[in-house]
Chains A and B, each alone.
Chain A
Amino acid sequence: DIRMTQSPASLSASLGETVNIECLASEDIYSDLAWYQQKPGKSPQLLIYNANSLQNGVPSRFSGSGSGTQYSLKINSLQSEDVATYFCQQYNNYLYTFGAGTKLELK
């Protein structure tokens, strides 16, 4: 199975700040990577697919980048509604795997 190592596990940031979350795959996943946001008590929501494609309706302050084994999610100008846990997920093979998550809180 492809292992997804996500960092940091938790993050505290101020309103208006820029936040970066990293995801490292155990092998090349050829940009077959998605990012999800999960708010407490809610289902996850798709933010980014194909490493850098923004899902319809997702604010443009969210962006994804990366290739090979290294990927990142960037949130510009952090808003209060961005407080959530973020997960990366690879789909390069059919044994899909998620990162362990990054819990984002306001400082």
Chain B
Amino acid sequence: EVQLVESGEGLVQPGSSMKLSCVASGFTFSNYGMNWIRQAPKKGLEWIALIYYDSSSKYYADSVKGRFTISRDNSKNTLYLEMNSLRSEDTAMYYCAGGTGWFAYWGQGTLVTVSS
């Protein structure tokens, strides 16, 4: 059974930093591009970052470029999202999702709240 389990949920102040993790199992993690997708409360889905299976390429949405960094450790089947200079508009449920193109695998999400 495919599982993606995010962690790092919490409440942080504007301007601070936070790191999310996503541990994968049930599929060959090292063969898949991986993504972070977020969903603000009662809003739609926003793709924010993609990393290739071998970390050779990374892409970011304009809304997070220069503030967020996606990375992975294939030896640990783990995806990361380092988030800096957090803003109130970054408040959202953050999902990790597997696939380059379409997203066949999704985690359950982890909630990040940015508020003073």
Of A10-18, A19-27, A65-73, A98-106, the one with at least 4 CB within 8 A of chain B:
A98-106
Q: Are B104 and A46 in contact (CB under 8 A)?
A: yes
Q: How far is the CA of A99 from the CA of B46 in the complex (A)?
A: 9
Selected contact of B109 from candidates A43, A46, A99, CB within 8 Å: A43
A–B pairs, 16, beta carbons within 8 Å: A36-B45, A36-B103, A43-B109, A44-B106, A46-B104, A49-B101, A49-B104, A87-B45, A89-B47, A89-B102, A94-B50, A95-B47, A95-B61, A97-B47, A100-B44, A101-B45
Q: How far is the CA of A87 from the CA of B107 in the complex (A)?
A: 17
DSSP class of B's interface residues: helix, strand, loop or mixed?
Answer: loop
Chain B residues whose C-beta falls within 8 Å of the C-beta of A81 in the assembled complex? none
A98 and B45 contact, Cβ closer than 8 Å, known pairs A43-B95, A55-B104: yes
